[in-house]
Amino acid sequence: MNEDRQWPALARALGRADLLDDPRFATKPQRLANSQDLIRILDEAFATHDLAHWNDVLAAHGLVFDMVAKVSEIDRDEQMLINQVLVPFEDGALLTVNSPLFVEGASKVAPRRPPDIGQHTDEILREAGYDDAALRELRAAGVIV
């Protein structure tokens, strides 16, 4: 089991080699049974240094790990940007989630912001045959904005 192989390296990386002799954490089932205690211990250990420190220490110990991003960090996630999971709107101001659909032979269109309420009302209703007088009547009656 990968967890059993990495547990000693994690304990040493955290400066808590003493945990390797603690019977509560000797095996995966015991760590699971005592997970509340273990989480408290791990939280305390990780709170002693910043993310950059732990990134270096865990990597130096050959541990497989990753950080859980905060929502506020997602738009700077290198993997999300390189893989074009997040792409800019056509005006370039903000990012949005890219469409997962690809159509062979067709280029993707840059995402656009949704229209404002009523932004295309006149255009659509004119295509449907309404003239300016009819649009004024609909607005006066509160049917459209």
The per-residue pLDDT for 123 is 96
- Same domain for 108 and 119, yes or no, is no
Which pLDDT belongs to residue 105? 95
**Shared domain check, 35 and 46:** yes
Which pLDDT value is given to residue 64? Answer: 87
Per residue in 93-131, pLDDT tens?
889 999 988 899 998 888 988 899 999 999 999 999 999
Q: How many whole angstroms separate alpha carbon 102 and alpha carbon 108?
A: 7
Indicate if 109 and 119 belong to the same structural domain: no
User: DSSP assignment, residue 27?
Assistant: S
Q: Are residues 95 and 84 in the same domain?
A: yes
Q: What is the mean pLDDT of the chain?
A: 92
95-123 b/e (C-beta count within 10 Å ≥ 16 → b): beebeeeeeeeeeeeebeeeeeeeeebee
Of 46, 35, 85, 48, nearest in space to 68 by CA = 46
Same domain, 103 and 130: no
Which tokens is 127 given?
Answer: 């295509």
Q: Which residue has the tokens 């273990």?
A: 38
The answer, as to whether pTM is greater than 0.75, is no
Identify the three-state secondary structure at position 88: strand
89 and 126 together in one domain: no
Total number of domains in the chain: 3
pLDDT of 92 reads 83
**Is residue 74 within a helix (H) or strand (E), and if so which, with residue range?**
none
What range defines the domain where residue 45 resides?
A: 2-60
Residues 52 and 92 placed together within one structural domain of the fold: no
Instruction: Choose the weakest-confidence range: 19-23, 50-54, 78-82, 90-94.
Output: 90-94
**Cα–Cα distance, 8 to 26 (Å, whole number):** 10
7 and 50 fall within a common domain: yes
Note whether 37 and 87 are same-domain residues: no
Residues 127 and 107 in one domain: no
Domain-terminating residue out of 41, 60, 79: 60
**Same-domain pairing of 50 and 21:** yes
Asked whether residue 123 falls in the same domain as residue 142, the answer is yes
Tell me: pLDDT of 1 over 60: no
Q: Per the structure block, which two tokens stand in for 77?
A: 């996630």
User: For residue 68, what pLDDT is reported?
Assistant: 84
pLDDT of residue 44: 97
